[in-house]
Amino acid sequence: MSTWTLKENSTGEMIVTIEGDEWKDATRKAYSKIAKNAEVKGFRKGQVPAEILKQKIGPREIQIQAIEDNANVWLVRGLDELKLSPISRPEMDLKSVDENGAQISYTFAVNPEVKVGQYKGLDYAIEDVTVTDEEFQKELDRMRANYADLNVKDGAAEKGDTVNIDYEGFKQDVPFEGGKAENYNLELGSNSFIPGFEDQLIGCKAGEEKEINLKFPEDYHAEDLKGQDVVFKVKVNEVKTKVLPELDDDFAKDVNAPGVETADDLKKLVRQRMEDSKKQSAEQKADSQLLEKVSGNSDVEIPDILVQDEINRMIEDLNQKISQYGMKMEQYLSMMGKKVEDLKKDYEEEAKKSVKLRLVLAKIAEIENLEPEEEKITQEYQKIADAYKMDVEKVKELIDKELLKDDLRNQMAYDLVKESAAKKDASETKEK
């Protein structure tokens, strides 16, 4: 017999009672197992006479052995009886045991009850976007800057110029680690150095030496330099200025973009890409707002285990991203002046939102009886394989089919929500 008591935070206690013939059979088998492995001086292993063995083995030892041998079996049986699916590892506790039977407690979290609010006919408006002439010109200038020549300049350095410098930093007249370089090319206005450094080099000429007094930011990644007053001794070796190419047909060909032969072709392409990018951003913003409404309209008590799992997933994603740049997590944390615990705390609110939304979408999928077709599952596996340049069979080994189906159900749920919202928005626009 099994009972289930739901407590706080979607965590509950399942108590399984074992008694009667089942308990007698379990203890009998436990005794046989102990007897088979028993060692008593003067007798071979497993050959100890019963009358002597009974003096050595107490009822408690037999009962505990029976529980150890059957705990997982009774757990599975209880879950089947009560139709429960744990989302955390069950913690076992022995409530009681004697010659008549035993009671075992299993504590674990389950998926919470989700009370879904309105999810159809919500407001969904994508902002109208335009690319201003100023934005367009700025993008063209940025592209030209990528192809610019750097010419040596005799005059004073201005913002946008590149200075070649030797420098060394001192804290209380003592050089500090990482504060020295020679023949370093620095673009003034790039904000690649701490605030104030680049500004104080504006107006300098080649051959000039200068002392720059600065204070490191309070949030600087190196602990020994946070908020510290320092002096940089700088020598300007050379000043160069950018000479941007003309926006002509030759430049358009140098860009080597598909279908671009003339300056007009390039301008059309750039404007189209900027408009597409803005439209995509506007739609993503509208999607995000719609998801917030769906989640906000629903009520769910989120288990801690799901939040922690999501945080760990986010940290693993970050780890994979920084590893692509040849950096380890320890280096990243040191650079940011943080510990893993700080990172987990930073991610906590975002993780809660993500988990809640996932649970809400899963509930909508359940309500709407949404189920991905086998063809869609196959296509998704192939899509992942193509993205990671892996064999599709290998992807199937790595990604559980049920987990993939869960993701597809949630996507189908959101597509339904979005389609319903878009229809409402379209009908309102038509009425106006």
What average pLDDT does this structure show over 38-45? 58
| Residue 432: predicted pLDDT | 47
What is the rounded (10 degree) CA torsion for 131, 134, 137, 138? -100
Alpha carbons 249 and 266: distance in angstroms, whole number: 9
Q: Do 390 and 375 meet the contact criterion of CB atoms below 8 Å apart?
A: no
Q: Do 102 and 63 meet the contact criterion of CB atoms below 8 Å apart?
A: yes
pLDDT digits (tens, 9 = 90+) for 402-428: 999 999 999 999 999 999 987 655 555
Kindly state the percentage of the chain with pLDDT values over 70: 93
Count of beta carbons in the 10 Å neighbourhood of residue 316: 11
pLDDT digits (tens, 9 = 90+) for 287-321: 999 999 999 999 998 888 999 999 999 999 999 89
pLDDT above 90 (res 101):
yes
pLDDT above 80 (res 97):
yes
Q: What is the mean pLDDT of the chain?
A: 90
Alpha carbons 10 and 299: distance in angstroms, whole number: 13
Specify the range with the lowest mean pLDDT, choosing from 54-58, 94-98, 271-275.
54-58
Q: The pTM is what?
A: 0.71
Alpha carbons 120 and 297: distance in angstroms, whole number: 11
Triad 401, 405, 409: Cα angle to 5°: 175
| Residue 44: predicted pLDDT | 58
Alpha carbons 236 and 201: distance in angstroms, whole number: 9
Q: Which domains does the chain have, with CATH numbers?
A: 2-110 (3.30.70.1050), 149-243 (3.10.50.40), 262-431 (1.10.3120)
pLDDT digits (tens, 9 = 90+) for 140-168: 999 998 899 999 999 999 999 999 999 99
Alpha carbons 226 and 243: distance in angstroms, whole number: 38
Alpha carbons 10 and 19: distance in angstroms, whole number: 29
| Residue 31: predicted pLDDT | 83
Q: Do 49 and 82 meet the contact criterion of CB atoms below 8 Å apart?
A: no
Q: Do 267 and 144 meet the contact criterion of CB atoms below 8 Å apart?
A: no
pLDDT digits (tens, 9 = 90+) for 329-355: 988 888 777 889 999 999 999 999 999
* pLDDT tier at 52, thresholds 50, 70, 90: low
Sign of CA dihedral 222, 227, 231, 233: positive
3-state secondary structure the chain: CEEEEECHHHEEEEEEEEEHHHHHHHHHHHHHHHHHHCCCCCCCCCCCCHHHHHHHCCHHHHHHHHHHHHHHHHHHHHHHHHCCCECCCCEEEEEEEECCEEEEEEEEEECCCEECCCCCCCCCCCCCCCCCHHHHHHHHHHHHHHCCEEEECCCCCCCCCEEEEEEEEEECCEEEEEEEEEEEEEECCCCCCCCCCCHHHCCCCCCCEEEEEEECCCCCCCHHHCCCEEEEEEEEEEEEEEECCCCCHHHHHHHCCCCCCCHHHHHHHHHHHHHHHHHHHHHHHHHHHHHHHHHHCCEECCCHHHHHHHHHHHHHHHHHHHHCCCCCHHHHHHHHCCCHHHHHHHHHHHHHHHHHHHHHHHHHHHHCCCCCCHHHHHHHHHHHHHHHCCCHHHHHHHCCHHHHHHHHHHHHHHHHHHHHHHHHHHHHHHHC
Interacting residues of 212 by C-beta distance below 8 A, sequence separation 6+: 196, 197, 200, 201, 231, 232, 234
* pLDDT tier at 55, thresholds 50, 70, 90: low
| Residue 39: predicted pLDDT | 60
Q: Which residue has the tokens 């809400």?
A: 360
Q: Do 140 and 267 meet the contact criterion of CB atoms below 8 Å apart?
A: yes
Alpha carbons 213 and 232: distance in angstroms, whole number: 7
Q: Which residues are registered as beta bridge partners of 211?
A: 233
What average pLDDT does this structure show over 115-119? 94
What average pLDDT does this structure show over 14-39? 87
Q: Do 306 and 87 meet the contact criterion of CB atoms below 8 Å apart?
A: yes
Comparing CA positions, the residue from 116, 110, 117 lying closest to residue 304 is: 110
pLDDT digits (tens, 9 = 90+) for 223-257: 788 889 999 999 999 999 999 999 999 999 999 88
